[in-house]
């Protein structure tokens, strides 16, 4: 799939109130559920510091209208984010970013997820060095990553 086609099918909307740098891109032709795509985009936004601890997410209705999806779908994404410890639901401000750090748990999750991703790569002759390069590349792309 070319980049052009990819762009065409994408639905792009701003996630931050001031319209600075974070965008949500939903691919309606993807086999990944829309609410999971939305959840992942928001997590990436947090990792990039585009949305910071304490920042409120757009309201369910606003987000749904911007992306052009159902309110229920946005609601589901926010619920999952709460369940996974990325946001808290505030009665006045709606969903606000509040990351709940459980180092052991997250490392276990990553080990499981990485095993599958890396196994796919190893089958296709991806070397350990190439994997490390990818990790560095991605960490550099996320502002919070290399500040550590």
Partner DNA sequence: GTGGTCTAGACCACA
Partner DNA sequence: GTGGTCTAGACCACG
Residues at the site binding DNA, with contacts judged by CB under 7 A: 31, 33-36, 59-62, 69-73, 75-76, 89, 91-92, 94-95
Rounded to a whole number of angstroms, the minimum distance from the CB of residue 38 to DNA is: 8
Q: Per CB under 8 A, does 118 bind a second copy?
A: yes
Q: What b/e sequence results for 57-68 when a residue is b if at least 16 CB atoms lie within 10 Å of its CB, and e otherwise? A: bbebeebbebbe
Residues 34 and 80: their CA atoms lie apart, in Å, by 13
Residues 84 and 81: their CA atoms lie apart, in Å, by 5
Residue closer to a second copy by CB (options 58, 81) is 81
For the beta carbon of residue 108, count every other beta carbon within 10 angstroms. Answer: 11
Positions touching a second copy (CB under 8 A) are 5, 9, 28-31, 33-34, 40, 43-44, 46-48, 69, 83, 85-86, 88-93, 98-103, 106-107, 109-111, 113-132, 134-139, 141-142, 144-146, 148
């Amino acid at each position: 799939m070319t980049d052009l086609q990819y762009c065409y099918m994408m639905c792009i909307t701003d996630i931050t109130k001031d319209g600075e740098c974070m965008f949500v891109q939903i691919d309606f032709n993807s086999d990944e559920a829309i609410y999971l795509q939305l959840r992942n985009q928001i997590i990436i936004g947090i990792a990039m510091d585009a949305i910071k601890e304490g920042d409120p997410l757009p309201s369910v209705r606003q987000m749904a209208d911007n992306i052009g999806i159902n309110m229920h779908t946005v609601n589901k994404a926010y619920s999952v984010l709460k369940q996974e410890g990325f946001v808290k639901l505030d009665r006045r401000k709606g969903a606000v970013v509040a990351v709940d750090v459980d180092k052991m748990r997250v490392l276990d999750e990553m080990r499981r997820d990485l095993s599958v991703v890396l196994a796919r790569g190893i089958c296709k002759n991806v070397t350990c060095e190439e994997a490390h390069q990818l990790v560095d590349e991605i960490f550099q792309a996320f502002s919070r990553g290399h500040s550590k």
